[in-house]
Amino acid sequence: MKKIICILCLILSVSFLQAQESYTINGETLELKTEVDGQLDLLWNIIDGKYRYFVRTEDNTITELKNTKVDRKFQEEYKTLLEELTNNTMPTKRLNLTLFSLKEFIDSYNVSADSDYETNVSRSKLQFRLGVFGGMTNSPFVNNPNNEKTPLFGAELEVLETNRISRHAVFMQLKHVVEQDDINYSTTELSLGYRFRVINKETFSLYANTKFATLNFSNATVVTDREGVITTEELSETSFDVPFIFGIGADINVSKNSFITLAYNELFALFLDNKGNFSTDFSIGYKFKL
């Protein structure tokens, strides 16, 4: 086991060394990584706990990108330098001295200046998925003495990144719980939530949900018996909550752009009390990419 660990460490060390090269710039010897390689190159590394960025031109001149502070005001020398190197063809007003911002800027210039250049920047794009679902629930956060199950149906809009198989997503959901005589309760819920994919494959994903904001339009019939006198009262209520309701779900890919969805929701909530019934909130649905 010790030999295997040593071999792995050696391989990782060699890979790390190959990923950066040594340069002498203004008498200073630095180990730098190449982030963008084209007509303009972007070199960088963390040196003494500080991010430092350099640009290399086709004649192999390397210049540091700086943003010095004089009288509490940043001079933004890196913008002036990059404007000169790109012949003022690229706007720098919103350019930040960060790795991603510089990488995107220099990559965009290389794309415009060289038709043979292949971009290596993956720009985030949003993907929208629309789904419908139906199932059964025992509404565990409302009074339900006999643990009755009622139908539910709804729709959901999910938003995630497309530049990779994203583990993170946000969703907006509209759900309606149908009233039945045995429970005399119905609600229409609009909610916002967050989803994290624990298992994340192209053909299958398993995820955890949390609804962090809900708006409910509820109707209930309350029957009271006072000394043999039975009264019935119809109640309507609109309520906004930040309940953090948790559940789990899965997407099963059935075609290039569509999924079968399975969900087990309302397992527990941080800021809502369970009324004594463990959740039996199940649904099945169909989701497709827009």
46: how many CB neighbours lie within 10 A of its CB? 9
Domain end position, chosen among 54, 85, 113: 113
Dihedral sign for Cα atoms in the order 135, 222, 215, 197: negative
CA nearest 177: which of 206, 148, 207, 205? 148
Angstrom distance (rounded) from CA 241 to CA 256:
37
- Does the pLDDT of residue 6 top 80, yes or no? no
Comparing 74-78, 226-230, 233-237, the range with the smallest average pLDDT is: 226-230
Asked whether the beta carbons of 67 and 50 are under 8 A apart, the reply is: no
Residue 229, token pair as written in the block: 């006198």
144: how many CB neighbours lie within 10 A of its CB? 19
Question: Residue 264's beta-bridge partner residues?
Answer: 248, 282
Q: Say if residue 202 is in the same domain as residue 134.
A: yes
Angstrom distance (rounded) from CA 221 to CA 183:
8
94 lies in which domain range? 19-113
pLDDT of residue 218: 93
Residues 171-186 as b/e (b if ≥16 CB within 10 A, e otherwise) read bebebbbebeeebbbb
CA nearest 244: which of 271, 221, 273? 271
Comparing 12-16, 138-142, 200-204, 221-225, the range with the smallest average pLDDT is: 12-16
Mean pLDDT to the nearest integer, 141-151: 90
Asked whether the beta carbons of 33 and 19 are under 8 A apart, the reply is: yes
Domain end position, chosen among 85, 113, 141: 113
For 72-128, the pLDDT digits (tens) are 899 999 999 999 999 999 999 889 999 989 999 999 999 999 888 888 776 667 889
Question: Could you tell me the pLDDT band of residue 228, with boundaries at 50, 70 and 90?
Answer: low
How many domains does the chain divide into? 2
For 241-275, the pLDDT digits (tens) are 999 999 999 999 999 889 999 999 999 999 999 98
Angstrom distance (rounded) from CA 207 to CA 1:
35
Angstrom distance (rounded) from CA 88 to CA 82:
8
Residue 146 belongs to domain with CATH number? 2.40.160.20
- Report field, pTM of the whole predicted structure over 0.75: no
Q: Say if residue 108 is in the same domain as residue 151.
A: no
- Does the pLDDT of residue 174 top 60, yes or no? yes
Share of the chain above pLDDT 70, in %: 88
Q: What is the DSSP letter of 230?
A: E
Q: Say if residue 85 is in the same domain as residue 64.
A: yes
- Residue 3 in domain: no
Amino acid at 107: D
Q: Say if residue 215 is in the same domain as residue 282.
A: yes
- Residue 4 in domain: no
Q: Say if residue 263 is in the same domain as residue 135.
A: yes
Burial class (CB in 10 A: 0-12, 13-18, 19+), 103: middle
Mean pLDDT to the nearest integer, 200-208: 90
